[in-house]
Amino acid sequence: MEIIHQQSETTILLDQEEILMQKKLESSSSASSDKCCIYKIPEFILKGNEKHYKPSVVSIGPAYYKDQSLETMQHIKWIYLKHFLIHSQNVNKNRGLKDFINYVKGSNGKICGQYQEQIIFPNECNDFVEMVVLDAAFLVYLFLNNWCPNKWPIPINQPGLMPYINKDLYLLENQLPFFVLQDFFDLAFGNVFQPFINFTLAYIHNHTNFPGVKAIHHCMHTNKIDASTINHLLDLMRTCCCLPCNLLPRNQLNLPKDTFPSTAKRLFDAGVKFEVQDSSDSPLNITFEKGKLKIPKLVLDDFTEPYLRSILFFEQCHYSKNSYIIDYIFFLDELIDTVEDVQVLDRSEIIQNDLGSDEDAIKFINKITANVNLECKFYYSGISRDLNEYAKTHWNRWLAILRRNYFNHPWASYICDRCNRTFCS
């Protein structure tokens, strides 16, 4: 009898272990969902760089929900929600808080499937619904305020916090799925206003200094963005950067073997002229023709790094086969190694360095690519190959030395250019 009893206990323990493991298998489904688009920053990347990945003022979504350091904005969100509901009822008197709560409850699984990390709250259902309602209403109202401040006044005006709020809205972990914002807007206002994507783009354009701000302006006036394809605000920023260039998937491009450019100073010494790319709205449109390397202007300030770090990691996770922004940053990283490289780009106004010293700019560019990998052919290989071949040409190197050391008069420079056309034609 004792042996049978022991066997029964063993069977029960095995059954319990199977049940626990089965629950873990089921709970892991969200992380492997093909809809996942909001990723967790690994600890080894986060360590030492917390200020670039963690929100300073406002939490959006579950990652930093109820973080005590962000409690002030949580209280302010309730005031935003109140004003949001008032405006919603002005359009549709039958629309109330219960409608938005029911929407979130009905969309629970779809929303959770967007996050890589499983969402767990102590009071799971109530806390999750409260979080989504507060965050969605806050963002929709904020974007509408930008469109018409008089009609949609800010409930509590804190101008000193706005730069930090705007930075926080585009951190990868600090996101709500875009379809939630779209559905809240539609549920509240129907077709009374213009499409919600227009309000969103206008807000980003007016309140950020993201490298692709000109691209966002382009998208505002071309209606090329399909809101149903946007994952979240950070994804929208990336999409704007790519659209004006009409970038093709890598498998449709005939790219040469991976080739990277020499440094800016070496290219300059070899006769390459550096100019700002003014003919395109996209920050990715780098061209090299007739000895001129044209690169869109990049502003380096305290908020550039958080934007780029989040978008680089997001692209590596979600667009690894079409990582155009990763390639753009790698191209700049190859150009910049020394203070002289920074000075070449600064003099040509390709870089606007608001970080302080040239050394700060070097550190910024060089360290931002740490833990970022190229997982497909380098998009700028063709340009890099042409640059390096141009720099190796003895005639171009000789002309560069001649211009720099012996031809300081404007007429002399003209003569030099005429010689170049005569002998190279």
158-168 pLDDT tens trace: 778 899 999 99
Amino acid making up residue 28? S
415 & 344 share domain: no
Residue 106 belongs to some domain of the structure: yes
Rounded Cα gap, residues 378 and 329, in angstroms: 11
Q: Number of structural domains, the chain?
A: 3
Q: At what angle do helices 394-405 and 381-392 cross, to 10 degrees?
A: 70
Residue 168 belongs to some domain of the structure: yes
357 & 419 share domain: no
pLDDT in tens, 46-98: 999 999 999 999 999 999 998 999 999 999 999 999 999 999 988 888 889 99
DSSP tag of 62: S
Residue indicated by tokens 């003569």: 415
Residue indicated by tokens 């990868």: 172
pLDDT in tens, 209-266: 888 888 888 888 888 899 999 999 999 999 999 876 666 666 556 666 778 999 999 9
Q: Assess contact for 298 and 213: CB atoms under 8 A.
A: no
Q: Which helix (H) or strand (E) holds 204?
A: helix 196-207
Residue 424 lies in domain = 393-425
Residue 217 belongs to some domain of the structure: no
Residue 334, class by beta-carbon neighbours within 10 Å (0-12 exposed, 13-18 middle, 19+ buried)? buried
Residue 57 belongs to some domain of the structure: yes
pLDDT at position 259 is 86
Q: How many CB atoms lie within 10 A of CB 186?
A: 12
Q: Assess contact for 267 and 396: CB atoms under 8 A.
A: no
Rounded Cα gap, residues 344 and 327, in angstroms: 21
Q: Which helix (H) or strand (E) holds 162?
A: helix 162-168
Q: Identify the band that residue 33 occupies on the pLDDT scale cut at 50, 70 and 90.
A: low
- Bigger pLDDT: 139 vs 154: 139
pLDDT in tens, 343-397: 999 999 999 999 989 999 999 999 999 889 887 888 898 899 999 999 888 556 6
Q: How many CB atoms lie within 10 A of CB 352?
A: 15
Three-class secondary structure of residue 69 per DSSP: helix
360 & 333 share domain: yes
pLDDT at position 226 is 92
Rounded Cα gap, residues 127 and 112, in angstroms: 13
Rounded Cα gap, residues 199 and 184, in angstroms: 14
Smallest CA-to-CA distance from 342 within 311, 370, 307, 366 is with 366
132 & 161 share domain: yes
Rounded Cα gap, residues 303 and 208, in angstroms: 9
Q: Which one of 174, 207, 240 terminates a domain? A: 207
Residue indicated by tokens 């305290």: 302
Q: Of all residues in the chain, what percent carry a pLDDT higher than 90?
A: 60
Q: Assess contact for 73 and 162: CB atoms under 8 A.
A: no
Rounded Cα gap, residues 32 and 26, in angstroms: 11
Q: Count of alpha carbons within 13 Å of 187, Cβ hemisphere only?
A: 22
In the predicted structure, residue 156 carries a pLDDT above the cut 80? no
370 & 421 share domain: no
Full DSSP string of 71-118: HHHHHHHHHHHHHHHHHHHHH-TT--HHHHHHHHHHTHHHHHTTBSSP
308 & 358 share domain: yes
pLDDT at position 422 is 46
Q: Count of alpha carbons within 13 Å of 133, Cβ hemisphere only?
A: 23
pLDDT in tens, 260-299: 999 999 999 999 999 999 888 889 999 999 999 999 999 9
Rounded Cα gap, residues 395 and 423, in angstroms: 10
pLDDT at position 159 is 77
Residue 20 belongs to some domain of the structure: no
75 & 203 share domain: yes
73 & 173 share domain: yes
